[in-house]
Amino acid sequence: MYGTAYDAIVLAGGAARRLGGADKPGVRVGGRPLIDRVLAACAQARTTTVVADPRPTARPVTWAREEPPGGGPVAALDAGLRYTTAEQVVVLSADLPFLGEPTVRRLLAALRASGAEGVLLTDADGRDQPLVAAYRAPALRRELAALTLEHGDLTGLPLRRLTAGLDLTRVPDPVASFDCDTWDDIATARARIREHGHVLDEWISAVKDELGIDLDVDTGVLLDLARDAAHGVARPAAPLTTFLVGYAAARAGGGPEAVAEASRKAVALALRWADEDSGAAEPDAKPGTAQNAKPDAEPEAEPDPSPDAG
């Protein structure tokens, strides 16, 4: 999908002081822990290493920890990088509620196209976000080795000391770069995903994660099916029909094509049902044929043509 395999590193071991020491990666936004939202965005990574104490996650990961724990983002990045082998590495914080897979793809594509050593997002104020970025792993290792040689230890070093030595390209994205440092940020994120333009996609993503389903389908097709079933048959037919379509698609082997084919058949049936209910003529009805004639009615006796009748 990405042209070149990549590994992912997610930093999730911060102290979250502005959240009163709360377990920030575990805070739920849209029904999902922040860390699971970030892991979904880098689901295509060859390996994903999370630098933090182990916890349950929706996707399998490798766990790492800087020494000593709490040594800061540069030390954490160094600890995570030790578990990677790909030439390209996506580095993410665990508090990005609006990060999605398309942004990860865009970062990797920009890294390949630019020839730079790293591509990072900038936020609404134009500030660099080095924990929403894609890097060339050899460049990271070079700079980490230089910092270790200079300081003897990476503990406590700010990320700008690492990125200052890299040739970087920047991509503005105020939405995907939005991170949750305070409870106000959490409230903003929770409100935004419930807006009309976002709530459906957010809900579908949450359901797929909860059920362990990794399937991209045309939700427009399913919504059209639900509408046709509700309007042409009865309102409760909508959820039941979409359930049956999913079941039929699974029996047919699953995948977007199976869903689309099962949906097509169900839509056609719903339209035929609606046509009958509206009184539309049968396509094979003959002109002049009475539509309400009783099939079992006896034919009327014809009058006796005999002149003696009567």
Give the pLDDT of the chain (310 residues) as one tens digit per residue: 455 799 999 999 876 677 777 788 999 998 889 999 999 999 999 999 999 999 999 899 999 999 888 899 999 999 999 999 999 999 999 999 999 999 999 999 999 999 899 999 999 999 999 999 999 999 999 999 999 999 999 999 999 999 999 999 999 999 999 999 999 999 999 998 888 667 877 777 777 777 777 777 777 888 888 888 888 888 888 888 888 888 888 888 888 888 888 888 888 888 877 777 665 545 444 444 444 444 444 444 444 544 444 3
| CB atoms near residue 297 (< 10 Å) | 7
Q: The pTM is what?
A: 0.74
Residue in 75, 74, 88 with CA at minimum distance from that of residue 116:
88
3-state secondary structure at position 284? coil
Helix residue ranges, H only, 53-136? 73-81, 101-114
Residues 86 and 30: beta-carbon distance below 8 Å: no
68 cis-preceded (ω within 30 degrees of 0): yes
